[in-house]
């Protein structure tokens, strides 16, 4: 079973949400939107590189963009192994929480 670290899970899910528009800046924006926290660009690229190394995400170069000085954007995609890892991680979370005693915070919220 390929379990994801929390940062890998968040970044991989951001890629999945973004689909064909997943590159560094949009991934960082999606992560901020879903977590409510600002992530440094390094905090995004470290798990991206691990995900790619593990074969859970892959990259594709986009077309050169004039506003980027002719540089290409690097887009990220979730691989089939990445999808399986997300499902396994989700099942693990559900299993851990199933039957856990109530935290007792619902009344205070």
- What's the CA dihedral at 36, 38, 42, 43 to 10 degrees? -30
In a domain, 36, yes or no: yes
Is the pLDDT at 93 greater than 80? The verdict is yes
- Answer whether residue 28 is part of any domain: yes
Q: In the chain, how many domains are there?
A: 1
User: What's the CATH code of the domain at 70?
Assistant: 1.10.10.10
SS3 65: coil
Per-residue model confidence (pLDDT) at position 92: 93
In a domain, 77, yes or no: yes
| pTM: predicted TM-score of the whole model, two decimal places | 0.86
| 66 pLDDT above the threshold of 90 | no
Is 95 inside any structural domain? no
Q: Is residue 105 part of a domain?
A: no
The range of the structural domain enclosing residue 21 comes to 6-86
Residue 66 lies in a domain: yes
DSSP one-letter code for 98? T
């Amino acid at each position: 079973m390929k379990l994801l670290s929390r940062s890998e899970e968040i970044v991989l899910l951001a890629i999945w949400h973004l689909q064909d528009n997943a590159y560094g800046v949009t991934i960082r924006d999606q992560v901020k939107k879903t977590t409510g926290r600002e992530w440094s660009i390094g905090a995004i690229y470290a798990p991206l590189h691990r995900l790619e190394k593990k074969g859970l995400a892959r990259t594709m170069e986009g077309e050169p963009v004039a506003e980027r000085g002719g540089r290409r954007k690097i887009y990220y995609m979730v691989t089939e192994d990445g999808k399986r890892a997300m499902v396994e991680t989700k099942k693990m979370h559900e299993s851990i929480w199933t039957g856990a005693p109530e935290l007792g915070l619902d009344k205070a919220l």
